[in-house]
Chains A and B, each alone.
Chain A
Amino acid sequence: MTDNLRKLARELLESGKASVVIGYGDATLPGRTTPVFITSAAEADRLVWNEHCLNNLAVYLSSRKFKTDGKIAIVAKPCDLRAIINLVQENQVKREDVIIIGMVCSGMKDNDSGKPLEKCNACMEHVPKNCDEIIGDPASAPKPADPNAEFISLEKLEAMSPDERWAFWSKEFSKCIRCYACRQVCPMCYCTQCIAQKTQPQWIPSSQTPKGNFSFGMFRALHSAGRCVSCGECERVCPVGIPLNLLTAKMRKEIREKYGYEAGCDPDAPAPMCNFKPDDKEDFIR
């Protein structure tokens, strides 16, 4: 797949169809990758594809983090591809400005443990959709997992009492050092000024206190409701190991159950939190 990817990148850059190819290259540590920005055909051989291509590169498309004349070609695993589609839906990037190179993906491995990522075990989509180019053989892809597999991790918490849940999250959030890595790595967190850093008025206390951490952790996940594509990057980058995927998975579950919506799957679908139906069901308003 790496050879095909390099060949495609060379073609795109030589023909001028793309001015940059965002992909993965070898990192300094063996067995790891790092995002690379390839701007000339001669450099195309720096691109690699293996089971350590962890980063969600869609983050470089949002919030004008990256500027170029001409089109951006971007290497995307199916999960990252959903993030790109969601950005298109939210008018953060024009679909015609990107060339999506979708990778047939049989799963990524954790850098340290070498084990398959949890999200890959629950992956419903090993073959990319909505892309311009496909690298890899769709027939070789693993079978999609059960759609509810990603929610199994929620069951333990959902079975707890409210007091136990509160104790669980108080303990987890108390570890937060407010580095905002979870926010920076998220393609959907593209606000030029984050509510977590507003001071007048200050909605979320910015110091590293139980109150501020609780509020930040909760709102980061709430703002991702209906938009999170479960790429799992927030939890992967959290330096203190807070299980952030539980919060985003909870929101994904609610959105799916209540509004039958999957983020990033259909570029033309109306976003669930900006739309409504007069007969939306709820069971808590009297």
Chain B
Amino acid sequence: MSTQTESKHESAGAAGGFEPKITAFVCNWCTYAGADLAGTSRLKYQSNVRVVKLPCTGRIDPHFIIKAFENGADGVLVSGCHPGDCHYTSGNYHARRRFTMFRAMMEFLGLDMDRLQFSWVSAAEGGKWTKVVDDVTNKVRNLGPNTKYRELCEND
């Protein structure tokens, strides 16, 4: 992909390098509470992530993810309750099937799959949340800016 767009969109980090924007769609009951726990426990993690809270992973429509990419996200993380722990009993089971298909579709279209990641993080897993966010951020930083989507959206 062409490189001239990269510099234009690159957001400068502390050291002047590329810092990715990560959008995280999380459920209210598990992952958001887990992220809260990470905060109250004063655990440190990279600040590239913008958290969007939804009631349930079952409420996370693939349209949200596409919109995030279209609006400049370099990576997207989707996270919710572990199987069996859904506050609404089965929302995450439905989400799991939906994201299985969505992910297969995005892979088939040619998205780099490190840009679209999924995790189960419970309300007690503040530590896991920091690890997941750090790992996603590092992987996306390695990939660089989401030039594919930026080129796609350039003329809009």
List the interface of chain A (C-beta within 8 A of B). 157-158, 160, 162-170, 195, 203-205, 207, 209-212, 214-215, 218-219, 221-222, 225-226, 247, 250-251, 254-255, 258-259, 272-274, 276-278, 280, 282, 284-286
Indicate whether B16 reaches chain A with its CB closer than 8 angstroms.
no
Shortest CB distance A151–B (Å) = 12
Contact check, B101 vs A255: say whether CB atoms are below 8 A apart: yes
Residues of the A chain whose Cβ atoms lie less than 8 Å from the Cβ of B7: none
**In the complex with contacts A162-B112, A163-B1, A166-B110, A210-B119 CB distance below 8 A:** no
**In the complex with contacts A205-B156, A211-B70, A258-B110 CB distance below 8 A:** no
Nearest residue (CB) in B for A209 is: B156
Contact check, A286 vs B105: say whether CB atoms are below 8 A apart: no
> 5 interchain pairs (CB within 8 A)?
A162-B113, A203-B63, A207-B156, A218-B66, A225-B105
Shortest CB distance A207–B (Å) = 8
Q: How far is the CA of A170 from the CA of B2 in the complex (A)?
A: 14
B120 partner, pick from A212, A218, A278, A286, beta carbons under 8 A: A286
Q: How far is the CA of A84 from the CA of B120 in the complex (A)?
A: 39
Contact check, B96 vs A282: say whether CB atoms are below 8 A apart: yes
Contact check, A276 vs B96: say whether CB atoms are below 8 A apart: yes
Residues of the B chain whose Cβ atoms lie less than 8 Å from the Cβ of A209: 155-156
Residues of the B chain whose Cβ atoms lie less than 8 Å from the Cβ of A157: 108
Q: How far is the CA of A255 from the CA of B101 in the complex (A)?
A: 8
Give chain A's interface secondary structure class. helix
Binary interface encoding of chain B residues 81-113 relative to chain A, with 1 for a CB under 8 A from any of its CBs, else 0? 001100000100110111111111111111111
**In the complex with contacts A218-B105, A254-B100, A276-B66 CB distance below 8 A:** no
Shortest CB distance A242–B (Å) = 13
Indicate whether B59 reaches chain A with its CB closer than 8 angstroms.
no
B110 partner, pick from A164, A195, A254, A255, beta carbons under 8 A: A164
Nearest residue (CB) in B for A272 is: B97
Contact check, B109 vs A273: say whether CB atoms are below 8 A apart: no
Indicate whether B132 reaches chain A with its CB closer than 8 angstroms.
yes
Residues of the B chain whose Cβ atoms lie less than 8 Å from the Cβ of A168: 110
Residues of the A chain whose Cβ atoms lie less than 8 Å from the Cβ of B70: 211, 215
Contact check, B101 vs A280: say whether CB atoms are below 8 A apart: no
Contact check, B110 vs A165: say whether CB atoms are below 8 A apart: yes
Contact check, A284 vs B103: say whether CB atoms are below 8 A apart: yes
Contact check, A165 vs B118: say whether CB atoms are below 8 A apart: no
Contact check, B153 vs A211: say whether CB atoms are below 8 A apart: yes
Nearest residue (CB) in A for B57 is: A285
Residues of the B chain whose Cβ atoms lie less than 8 Å from the Cβ of A212: 156
Residues of the A chain whose Cβ atoms lie less than 8 Å from the Cβ of B106: 218
Q: How far is the CA of A284 from the CA of B118 in the complex (A)?
A: 7
Contact check, B63 vs A280: say whether CB atoms are below 8 A apart: no
Residues of the A chain whose Cβ atoms lie less than 8 Å from the Cβ of B98: 273
Q: Which 10 A-B pairs have the closest CB atoms?
A: A166-B110, A165-B110, A276-B93, A285-B118, A203-B63, A162-B110, A254-B104, A225-B101, A286-B119, A210-B152
**In the complex with contacts A162-B110, A163-B110, A222-B62, A273-B97 CB distance below 8 A:** yes
